[in-house]
Amino acid sequence: MEPVIVSLKGRDYTSLIHYQQHSWISDEPEELGGKDEGPAPAELLLSALGACTAITLRMYANRKAWEVDEITVKVYFSETAGKDKPYSEIQRIIEITGNLDEVNRQRLLQIANACPVHKILTGEIKVVSLISG
């Protein structure tokens, strides 16, 4: 897999993100010193989970030829002070409109938990950081 390349020039927080032929922006809100020119990094993470979930569900519904008109995924993030230690929680609310029975809906919930980004976020993650240049 090719790398995602993020470049930040100057003293502001606007980050230019590139992957293959695609480009987009991340920034911080004005109240944190940014220009609010794009979503903050945490919002990009949540959007990745939401998009992956919706796409995975659409692929499955299409393969099964189920009548699914629309899939909407709302993703929320919160930090909670737990008993032993604080933890982060992501809540994902999946809205599906179409001609589905309860068995189909429960199957789609199982499939949502199998989307690749969900697996990454719920599995063990190791981040290796190096400085070059």
Q: Please check whether residue 10 lies inside any domain of the structure.
A: yes
Same domain, 32 and 92: no
pLDDT at 133: 84
- The DSSP output letter for 33 is T
Instruction: Provide the residue range defining the domain that includes 60.
Output: 41-122
Using CA atoms of 34, 39, 123, 66 in order, give the dihedral in degrees to the nearest 10.
170
**Which residue is listed with tokens 């919930």?**
109
What are the residues whose beta carbons fall under 8 Å from the beta carbon of 121, sequence distance 6 or more?
49, 90
At 94 the pLDDT is: 98
Is the pLDDT score of 33 beyond 80? yes
DSSP class of residue 2? P
Domain of 80, CATH number, reads 3.30.300.20
pLDDT at site 81: 80
pLDDT per residue over 47-94, tens digit each? 999 999 999 999 999 999 999 999 999 999 998 887 788 888 999 999
Domain count, the chain: 2
Q: Does residue 30 share a domain with residue 4?
A: yes
- What mean pLDDT is reported for the chain? 95
